[in-house]
Amino acid sequence: MGEGLVQIQPRDSYSLVEANLRCLRKLQLTESKSKSLSAVTMDATNFYTQFDSVMGENILNLVMGAPSESMLKMAASKFQQATIARMEGELPQWLMHYGAESGDGKFLTAMATFLSEEYGAPVAREDLVTTAGASMGLVLLANLLFTSSDLVFVENPTYFVATKVIGLDSGMTMVPVATDSGGINTDELEKALESKVGQRQRELTDRRPFWGMLYLVSTIHNPTGVSLTTERCRRVVELARKYNLLVVCDDVYNLLYFGDKPPHRLFQFDKKSDPDYKGNVVSNGTFSKVFGPGCRIGWLEAPKRVKEIVLSSGYMSSSGGWNHTMSGIMGSVINSGSLKEMLQIARPLYQEQCQMACEVLRTQLPGASFVEPHGGYFLWVRLPGNISGEEVAKRLKEQYNTLILNGSKCSITGDFKDCLRVTYSFNSKDRVRQGVENLVKVVKAMQAETA
CA 19, CA 200: separation in Å to the nearest integer? Answer: 50
**How many chain residues touch ligand PLP (CB under 6 A)?**
13
Confirm or reject binding of residue 159 to ligand PLP (CB under 6 A): yes
- 151 vs 220, beta carbon nearer ligand PLP: 220
**Of the listed pieces 48-56, 285-293, 315-323, 425-433, which binds ligand PLP according to CB under 6 A?**
285-293
Q: How far is the CB of 5 from ligand PLP (least distance, A)?
A: 26
Confirm or reject binding of residue 134 to ligand PLP (CB under 6 A): yes
- 250 vs 301, beta carbon nearer ligand PLP: 250
- 46 vs 50, beta carbon nearer ligand PLP: 50
Q: Which are the contacts of 269, defined by CB distance < 8 A and separation ≥ 6?
A: 230, 233, 234, 236, 237, 281
Q: Which are the contacts of 112, defined by CB distance < 8 A and separation ≥ 6?
A: 123, 124, 125, 128
**Of the listed pieces 127-135, 190-198, 306-314, 361-369, which binds ligand PLP according to CB under 6 A?**
127-135
- 112 vs 297, beta carbon nearer ligand PLP: 297
CA 341, CA 334: separation in Å to the nearest integer? Answer: 10
Confirm or reject binding of residue 183 to ligand PLP (CB under 6 A): no
CA 120, CA 23: separation in Å to the nearest integer? Answer: 48
Contact call for residues 293 and 133 (beta carbons, < 8 A): yes
- 208 vs 347, beta carbon nearer ligand PLP: 347
Confirm or reject binding of residue 156 to ligand PLP (CB under 6 A): no
Q: How far is the CB of 60 from ligand PLP (least distance, A)?
A: 19
**Of the listed pieces 14-22, 128-136, 207-215, 346-354, which binds ligand PLP according to CB under 6 A?**
128-136
Residue choice 288, 323, 338, 353 for contact with ligand PLP (CB under 6 A): 288
Q: How far is the CB of 145 from ligand PLP (least distance, A)?
A: 18
Residue choice 67, 99, 103, 133 for contact with ligand PLP (CB under 6 A): 133
Confirm or reject binding of residue 217 to ligand PLP (CB under 6 A): yes
Q: Which of residues 224-253 bind ligand PLP (CB under 6 A)?
A: 250, 252
Amino acid identity of 411?
S
Confirm or reject binding of residue 30 to ligand PLP (CB under 6 A): no
- 127 vs 250, beta carbon nearer ligand PLP: 250
- 103 vs 133, beta carbon nearer ligand PLP: 133
Q: How far is CA 267 from the centre of its chain?
A: 17
**Of the listed pieces 34-42, 131-139, 235-243, 424-432, which binds ligand PLP according to CB under 6 A?**
131-139
- 293 vs 321, beta carbon nearer ligand PLP: 293
Confirm or reject binding of residue 135 to ligand PLP (CB under 6 A): yes
Question: Across-strand partners of 173?
Answer: 151
**Of the listed pieces 132-140, 328-336, 385-393, 396-404, which binds ligand PLP according to CB under 6 A?**
132-140
Q: How far is the CB of 378 from ligand PLP (least distance, A)?
A: 8
Q: How far is the CB of 110 from ligand PLP (least distance, A)?
A: 18
Binding positions for ligand PLP, rule: CB under 6 A: 65, 133-135, 159, 217, 222, 250, 252, 286, 288, 293, 298
